[in-house]
Amino acid sequence: MTTLPNDLGPATEMYRHRTDTLVDDRGDGPPLVLSHGTLMDRAMFRPQQDALADDYRVVTYDSRARTDNWQGPYDLDDLTDDCRTLVDELGIDSCVLGGMSMGGFMALRFALRYPDVLDGLVLIDSMAQPHPEEDRERYGGMVDRAKAAAEMPADLAEVVSHILFGPTTNEADPELVESWRNRWLTYPGEAVHDEVHSWLNRPGVADRLDEIDVPTLVVHGAEDRSIDPEYGESMAEAIPDARFVEVPEAGHSSNVENPAVVNDALREFLAEVY
């Protein structure tokens, strides 16, 4: 088993003894660990677990914002150490680590900080650069309003549904979008605020992508309105051993919106890694 670093923050303790309530751990094969994006939870990776758990150990978990340790401030370094704690607690020596959006921001930092724990990297609808100033102001204003509310405001959830899901999904599968929107309405406004601010003003890591020396799969929805697919393409070009897959008819939550394409890409990638 890997040796856990001594400098992890106290909040990571929640992953030491509560994996039964925070984690879905399915399958007995080589490990794939998946970290969700902002406002999502581990359920967003059920299509991947259903498709891959016969051949791989697919681990999904709730990040800090979806637990009773959501209080901030915390940042991507904290989320990176949370993930390391989880991997160690589950007895995983090394894994393919995948992250969607915020989970991808974290996974990039994990790859740079803990390369000895990594067999491969999967980045879904994510980016290595900081968000543009215009986006930081926009998202900051949105969640600052949410912070004052006991729960996420309904009108904000409606706006977000068109940021996290593409136009094809909003039109063709409104029940899927509504199911997630209903989840968001139960979140404490302050938890949403702290989750977004964990990454909103992060420094970029684009200048360090050449340090990532494991096979990498970059997956990006063609209709992503939150992070343009060009960011995914440029990231794949900068990582030495990376490939890029664009997912048609999918927005920012491409693994949920068009899981068949993402699952096929993952299956091919994992077969090569392992």
One digit per residue, pLDDT tens: the chain, 274 residues?
Answer: 333 334 444 455 656 555 557 899 999 999 999 999 999 999 999 999 999 999 999 999 999 999 887 777 899 999 999 999 999 999 999 999 999 999 999 999 999 999 999 999 999 999 999 999 999 999 999 888 888 887 889 999 999 999 999 999 999 999 999 999 999 999 998 999 999 999 999 999 999 999 999 999 999 999 999 999 999 999 999 999 999 999 999 999 999 999 999 999 999 999 999 9
At 150 the pLDDT is: 79
Q: Are residues 143 and 120 in the same domain?
A: no
CB 223 within 8 A of CB 168: yes
At 20 the pLDDT is: 59
Does 2 fall in a domain? Answer: no
CB-based contacts of 130, cutoff 8 Å, min separation 6: 136, 201, 202, 203, 204
Phi, psi of 52 (to 5 degrees): -115, -15
Q: Are residues 209 and 75 in the same domain?
A: yes
Q: Are residues 184 and 221 in the same domain?
A: no
Gap between the terminal Cα atoms of the chain: 19
Domain count, the chain: 2
- Of the three residues 173, 192, 211, the one that is the final residue of a domain is 192
Q: Are residues 16 and 104 in the same domain?
A: yes
Does 14 fall in a domain? Answer: yes
At 19 the pLDDT is: 56
Rounded Cα distance, 207 and 209, in Å: 6
Q: Are residues 80 and 143 in the same domain?
A: no
Q: Are residues 177 and 119 in the same domain?
A: no
Rounded Cα distance, 227 and 123, in Å: 12
Q: Are residues 19 and 87 in the same domain?
A: yes
Does 3 fall in a domain? Answer: no
CB 29 within 8 A of CB 57: yes
pTM over cut 0.85 = yes
Does 228 fall in a domain? Answer: yes
CB 44 within 8 A of CB 100: yes
At 2 the pLDDT is: 33
Q: Are residues 181 and 215 in the same domain?
A: no
Does 111 fall in a domain? Answer: yes
> 165: domain range?
134-192
Q: Are residues 96 and 156 in the same domain?
A: no
At 18 the pLDDT is: 57
Rounded Cα distance, 128 and 204, in Å: 6
CB 250 within 8 A of CB 172: no
Which CATH number fits the domain that encloses residue 250?
3.40.50.1820
Q: Are residues 173 and 217 in the same domain?
A: no
At 8 the pLDDT is: 44
At 5 the pLDDT is: 39
